[in-house]
Amino acid sequence: MAEELITLAIVALVAAVCPLIAQRIPRKSIPEAVLLIAFGALLGPYGLNVIHTSSSLTLLSDLGLAVLFLLAGYEIDPRELTDAEGRRGLVTWVVTLGLAFLVVMMLPADFITTAEGHAAATIVLTTTALGTLMPILTERGLMGTRVGDLVIKFGTWGELGPVLAMAVLLSVRSKAQTALILLVLALFCVFTAHFAKRARRDGSKFYNFMTQNADSTAQTFVRFTVLLLIVFVALSAVFDLDIVLGAFAAGFVLRYVIPEGNKNLEGKLNAIGYGFLIPLFFVASGMKIDLAAIGQRPILLVAFIFLLLLVRAVPVYISLITSPTVRADVSRTNCLSVAFYCTTALPIIVAVTSVATSSGVMTDEVASVLVAAGAISVFLMPLLASAAYRVSDAEPIHAIHEIRAHEGTPSEVLHTHLEHERRLARERAERARRRAEDARRANEEYVRQHRM
């Protein structure tokens, strides 16, 4: 027990220090999640061996993963998945799945030797870490913008698709049994959502009790949200499905019950998740990375990052620039930015490789490389996306035309366009600050009204 508490104390210290380090990095170019993973790898069993894996830390890490996917599912408006761009996102993910399958089949024989291992590697190449991207998009002022909306629409299928693919392709049961279990889980989701929605609509005594005690010591909304999450996660475990499926389903149910959102509840869930459990998940993910194995297979690490770009970013980019609705108001460089964001991967990679290694269809060394590549993608892809976005703001094509038309010296034109890009960046940051301030005031007003 003492050793477990010491490990937890060190992990808590890492979680507390990482935001300070991220804040000191110019332009916050390294997301906090990357720092947490890096510290986990450095201090973990394959590094300095200061912190150790235990059943307690594993449970807390799994809960962190579950909360991450709960929040990701909650952020998704189901209506956005069924419009023209949402359906295009689904088709694009199916294309990436087929392309990933072809690419994996061409990998060297010593990489993966079983059909289940090929399925795991295929799923890994099609993922989007939407839950990880949400805070990055918020910090950069992209939530509510055209680019942010496209990232969510295409990224949702990049998270939901692999979750369902894991349940079907990595299950030890027959496909018919798996389909039946998924149907049972779906019916349970519908029943739970319908019951909760009806209780809210009819203003039942139960819902009135929930509302009146939402901000008391009972914290009713938070407790029942946690109950919803754990019940769905437990059902996934009972049916031998990965917990991310249950957590994602719980997020969808919560969004269905409160489609307009609840800022007060969201703030509390973010506090529980990002304040405690989610950092534990990222540190524990880093602890699984075998640094020596990566050193032995650097080519595989680079190759996998390249394959992520080939399999995920290229189809998303092509899909965007060929879409009439996107092409009308989104530049190609912004489409490239969306494609890079959608190639950010990690949580699903951790989940898939955990299942694959525990079933013996993937070696720990290969899993370490894939998790490390996923961690690098959390740093690299948003960085490339930000660069593409800034290039779009600078309007380089217009600058070239202005230089050719002798509307100023090259240095003057470039200076003007760079200043324009910086001004837009400052405006986005100010919008993000105002949005956060509005959310804070809405929370305070909500609490004040419900205490009266």
pLDDT at 147 over 90: no
pLDDT at 19 over 60: yes
Q: Give one word for 54, left, alpha or beta, with left for phi > 0 and alpha for psi -120 to 50.
A: beta
In a domain, 42, yes or no: no
Same domain, 374 and 411: no
Average pLDDT over every residue of 267-293: 90
Quick one: pLDDT band at residue 110, thresholds 50, 70, 90?
low
Same domain, 357 and 221: yes
CB count, 10 Å around CB of 29?
Answer: 13
pLDDT at 128 over 90: yes
Of the three residues 347, 366, 391, the one that is the final residue of a domain is 391
Q: Closest Cα to residue 45, out of 56, 34, 37, 53?
A: 53
pLDDT one-digit tens code per residue, 394-438: 555 555 555 666 666 666 555 565 565 566 656 655 665 566 566
Supply the mean pLDDT for the chain.
83
- Which tokens go with 235? 């059902």
Taking a C-beta distance cutoff of 8 angstroms, is the pair 253, 267 a contact? no
Give the DSSP letter of residue 46.
T
pLDDT at 283 over 90: yes
CA–CA separation, 13 and 64 (whole Å):
17
Taking a C-beta distance cutoff of 8 angstroms, is the pair 48, 222 a contact? no
In a domain, 420, yes or no: yes
- Which tokens go with 41? 């790898």
Same domain, 173 and 299: yes
In a domain, 245, yes or no: yes
Average pLDDT over every residue of 148-159: 90
Q: How many domains does the chain have?
A: 2
Average pLDDT over every residue of 292-306: 87
Write the DSSP assignment of 358-387 as a string of letters. HTTSS-HHHHHHHHHHHHHHHHHHHHHHHH
Q: Closest Cα to residue 66, out of 351, 323, 331, 308?
A: 351
Same domain, 444 and 309: no
In a domain, 60, yes or no: no
HSE, CB side, 13 Å, CA atoms: give it for residue 46.
Answer: 22
Kindly report which listed range (134-138, 155-159, 323-327) carries the lowest average pLDDT score. 134-138
pLDDT at 278 over 90: yes
CA–CA separation, 316 and 338 (whole Å):
8
Same domain, 349 and 409: no
Same domain, 73 and 199: yes
Q: What is the dihedral of CA 39, 43, 45, 50, to 10 degrees?
A: -150
Helix extents (H) in 46-174? 55-75, 84-105, 115-124, 130-139, 146-169
Helices 314-321, 332-342: crossing angle, 10 deg rounding? 140
In a domain, 279, yes or no: no
Q: CA distances (Å), 342 to each of 96, 188, 388, in order?
A: 12, 30, 13
CA–CA separation, 92 and 97 (whole Å):
9
- Which tokens go with 363? 């070696």
Q: Give one word for 141, left, alpha or beta, with left for phi > 0 and alpha for psi -120 to 50.
A: left
pLDDT at 452 over 50: no
Which amino acid belongs to residue 318?
I
pLDDT one-digit tens code per residue, 313-339: 999 999 999 999 898 888 888 898 999
pLDDT at 444 over 50: yes
pLDDT computed for residue 244 by the predictor:
86
In a domain, 16, yes or no: no
- Chain position carrying tokens 């230089």: 403
C-alpha Rg value of the chain to the nearest Å? 23
In a domain, 353, yes or no: yes
pLDDT one-digit tens code per residue, 346-384: 888 888 888 888 777 788 888 888 888 988 998 899 888
CB count, 10 Å around CB of 266?
Answer: 16
CA–CA separation, 410 and 433 (whole Å):
35
Taking a C-beta distance cutoff of 8 angstroms, is the pair 42, 21 a contact? no
Same domain, 211 and 302: yes
Average pLDDT over every residue of 129-134: 84
Average pLDDT over every residue of 286-309: 88
If you average pLDDT over each of 149-158, 162-171, 308-317, which comes out highest? 308-317
Kindly report which listed range (132-146, 271-285, 388-402) carries the lowest average pLDDT score. 388-402
Same domain, 424 and 359: no
CA–CA separation, 438 and 426 (whole Å):
18
Q: Closest Cα to residue 46, out of 286, 271, 325?
A: 286
Same domain, 363 and 432: no
pLDDT one-digit tens code per residue, 67-88: 998 998 888 777 777 788 889 9
> Residues near 111 by Cβ (< 8 Å), separated by ≥ 6?
121, 300, 366
CA–CA separation, 219 and 168 (whole Å):
37
Same domain, 423 and 353: no
Give the DSSP letter of residue 214.
T
Same domain, 383 and 419: no
Same domain, 302 and 414: no
pLDDT computed for residue 298 by the predictor:
87
Of the three residues 372, 391, 410, the one that is the final residue of a domain is 391
Write the DSSP assignment of 4-39 as a string of letters. HHHHHHHHHHHHHHHHHHHHHSGGG-S-HHHHHHHH
pLDDT at 51 over 50: yes
CA–CA separation, 394 and 396 (whole Å):
6
pLDDT at 445 over 70: no
Average pLDDT over every residue of 182-199: 84
Q: What percent of the chain has pLDDT over 90?
A: 29
Q: What is the CATH number of the domain that holds 231?
A: 1.20.1530.20
Kindly report which listed range (53-67, 167-181, 333-347) carries the lowest average pLDDT score. 167-181
CA–CA separation, 202 and 59 (whole Å):
38
Of the three residues 391, 419, 436, the one that is the final residue of a domain is 391
pLDDT computed for residue 228 by the predictor:
93
Domain that holds residue 151: 65-273+295-391
Q: What percent of the chain has pLDDT over 70?
A: 83
In a domain, 220, yes or no: yes
